[in-house]
Structure 1
Amino acid sequence: MDMDLEKRVLRKITWRIVPFIMLLYLIAYIDRVNIGFAALTMKQDLGFSASVLGFGAGIFFVGYFLFEVPSNIILHKVGARLWIARVMLTWGLIAGGMAFIHSSTSFYVMRFLLGVAEAGFFPGIILYLSYWFPVRYRASVIALFMAAAPIATAIGSPISAALLEMHGFMNLAGWQWMFLIEAVPALILGVVVFFYMTDRPEKATWLAADEKEWLIQTMQQEHQQKQTHEHHSIIRGLTNPKVLALACVYFGTSAGLYTLGIWAPQIIKELGVSAMTVGFLNAIPPILSVIAMILWSRHSDRTGERTWHVALACLIAVAGLVIAAQTHNALGLIAALSVVNIGISCSKPPLWSMPTMFLSGTAAATGIATINSIGNLGGFAGPAMIGWIKDQTGSFNGGLYFIAGLLVISTVLTLILSASHKTKMNANNASNEA
């Protein structure tokens, strides 16, 4: 009977929460990386070099870094419904304001402000999911949520390319129309969030009484189990060695993710194809990665194994980056970029299932935000270095090797973290037996 109740509850909360947060992340990701398509024509209009584009694209994550932890703490205090609505409304306004940049300085300022506005969204959702889903299901749920990023690339690429064709309409450039139109969904959904999202299981009027009781008790039991082993202060979340190690692992995966999101259209454009063709070719790798990510995370949940699911996925991405740097035809390049997409996408759900296994409460809010804020600086380092290396060498190859090196470091750190954890567990077991 309990198993039937558990399945019923999980089915209800999954259908109520997951498709909606996927939609939110899809819109967020499009607004975050559509600069890659805008650059196809904007760089000529405004005279931007690859270094300016890379730095401006990456400075988003500096604003993100500075305001991520306080944003997530506020979300934990005031609730996801109010805070996510605020996040979406402010980022929608600033994303639309990108249409009016006119110099490198205004570009940098607006990208920085976009990062400030969006700070807290992603880790806020990860924290939000920890309120609703037991840990044994979390990697699969996070995978569904994170599938929105590659889906956003698959959907957004041809849409962004098509909007560039509006060049000259009402005396605006195509990239200006792209920024304006793609900002509208965030503004609309910001209002929807306020009325649709439920902060906690205790407030879920859409669950039956027995369903609500089972969910509340299950989540409270997990919380109490973590309380017997861990402290839950803000300082604990910021200074936990596991948190800092996971942040460094995430740094490499973020560098890879945003290199793809921002520079893949430019890399494909060097094949000499049209912007519309770039849009369709750039949609292929993320479609494949969605399938792989869901299957990979389900296997991680089924086996309970996290370390090798992160490490092997990072190595797959490394192989794809090396192949991409050595490939100069459309078929080979798209195949290589598909391998990179698959590797990076598959690494993230098992990685994000780790923090809430040893942290809860305020420590979870700060820990998750710390991992995301430090890790997302890879989203600054990757695109900025790619742009700088492109200006220095005239090629993307050196930048791709740089990102591959970061992912090798992520792999090594993951294995070290796992070995350290096993050593600590063995020592604790030996102490208990003594």
Structure 2
Amino acid sequence: MGEIEAEQGMWQVRPTTGLGGEARVPPDKSISHRAAMMGAIAEGTTVIDRYLEAADTLATLESLRAFGVEIDGPDGQGRVVVRGRPASRGGLAEPERPVDAGNSGTTLRLLMGLAAAHPIFWVATGDASLRRRPMGRVIEPLSRMGARIWARQGDRAPLAMRGGPLRAIAWRGPVASAQVKSAVLLAGVQARGVTRVDEPALSRDHTERMLPLFGVRLFAGPGWVELEGPQTLQGCHLTVPGDPSSAAFLWVAAAMHPGSRVRVSGVSLNPTRVEVLRVLSEMGAQVQVEPASPPSAPEPWGDVTVVGPERLRPFRIAGRRVPLLIDELPVLAVAALRAQGTSLIQEASELRVKESDRIEALARGLAALGAQVEALPDGLRIEGPQRFPGGVADSCGDHRLAMSLAVAALAGDGPSVVKGSRCARISFPGFAEVLDLLARAGGGRIEEAA
């Protein structure tokens, strides 16, 4: 193995006949980002238990520290303490150096909304993948609110922003995007007047669920939310549930193998995050949900068991379901390899501007394992059921593709290798160890190459 491969990591995967057992997944990435950012502009102290200790969310903490926010932790057990810098304490400080968001689009886009109301100048950048991702859908509404933003090629990082007093706006984006909505709301809670966001379809609603925990008054309905600013956030205590987007890899792996039974405990049951369970149920998997929210939970959570059926049915995903499944679509495409018929993903061109072009990269990766997936301009077509021999696939440095390819490799007829596996740490540290324990029930293995 060469030096580059060793640095990027590599999984060796042996197929399994079934999966079984119970697992916990890392804390929710979306909730962790938002809790730290809201705490950064809140009066007093915010205590976050089970904060995700992964590359993306650690980039958020380091970015907030660059704005002068005092943060203790994480302490190895997931506790983070944030001492806010609200307007009464002078607000966010001007960073002395460029703010590095790493690979995290959520970090950069939400920071732009958070800092837009503060009279400071700052520069933001990220890794090569993030610098390729478009920021125009955030730049446009924040500019209308009064922020001044300069970006490479008009909408790419590195970018620079000068914030200041903001005016409220009514905003309707061309596509449903929880990141854009959240950026506008974080700016709007600090602006004067009523800020309203309307979306063409429902997207993740973590921001509008969490703001009231910090004392913010708002009104929301399906596809819309509005609030009147400025309002001062108040620090609070919250516990982060397990991430359903991480759990999706384990649920899909179970669904693909008849008789498999995998239980994931303590995971978010937010209705805008569990569409993947509805799809698996429609495909024929047995899904059992046991609610179990602790008092400090910002939203519902519980334990979810998925049992693999004898036969999987195909699916068609398009339209309003796409924003609710945008992170799970790659692994659902993998599930379709075992379905009896043609599965179709459409109207999902957003996949092309993620950490990689997930449409082309997934099609190439599955082809390298011997499976056939047709890349469409806005999605994927998968004919099933397929048998494939296994092979050597490349994650293209995309954490969700790496994990999706590992799930696919477990269903192959022979051993496989997934290159670039280390990127899984971006959202799911310890993924290989968790999946390995479940796959051993059927003789499978997933191990880091020596």
**TM-score between both structures, scaled by the size of structure 2:** 0.23
Higher relative contact order (CA 8 A, sep 6+): 1
Q: Point out the structure with the larger strand share.
A: 2
**TM-score between both structures, scaled by the size of structure 1:** 0.24
